[in-house]
Amino acid sequence: ETWVEIGDDSVVREYATVNRGTAHSHVTRVGRGSFVMSYVHLGHDCQVGDGVILSNAVQLAGHVLVEDRAIISGMTAVHQFVRVGRHAFIGGCSRVAKDVPPYIKAVGNPVKLYGLNSVGLQRAGFSEATLTELKRAYRLMFRSDLMLSAAVAKAREELDTSHVEVQHLLDFVENSPRGVGF
């Protein structure tokens, strides 16, 4: 048996398609309080977290993971098995073939990373100390001359990883099977 699960207080608008899971995971899931706008396509086995916004005509291929409170702008296509991190923001008309780390803004074809999602994080109530450490992590991993693996190792040494958000960002990047967009 395979299923679709839509969480409480989620809205799915006109002409959206949500494919049920396959024998791979048995379920396609949309979390609580999410907004799936018109003409969105959710492929089989997608896992969409709580509070996610998928704007008009977003197309998620099968097995895509979208973590909590991410926003994907209109007419964006996301390749199968891609992961989009929590509180990430993806600009419209983007082509996402690699993972988008949490707390980051990304846009383009192919997608490129454009800094911390500062406005979204401030609106979500993140502390200044957390924002500062996330900015430092972003600069170290994506704006330095270091190889990504070396940058993650250096970040683990130099940053305050007592912030769960910093730890999540480092773990997400380090464990990305597809690699992350640059």
List the catalytic residues: 44-45, 62
Spatial CA neighbour of 161 closest among 134, 135, 123, 140: 134
Cα separation, 39 vs 32, in Å, equals 20
Burial 128-162 (b: 16+ CB within 10 A, else e): eebbebbebbbebbbeeeeebeebbeebeeebebe
Cα separation, 138 vs 135, in Å, equals 5
51 Rama sector, left if φ>0, alpha if ψ -120 to 50, beta otherwise: left
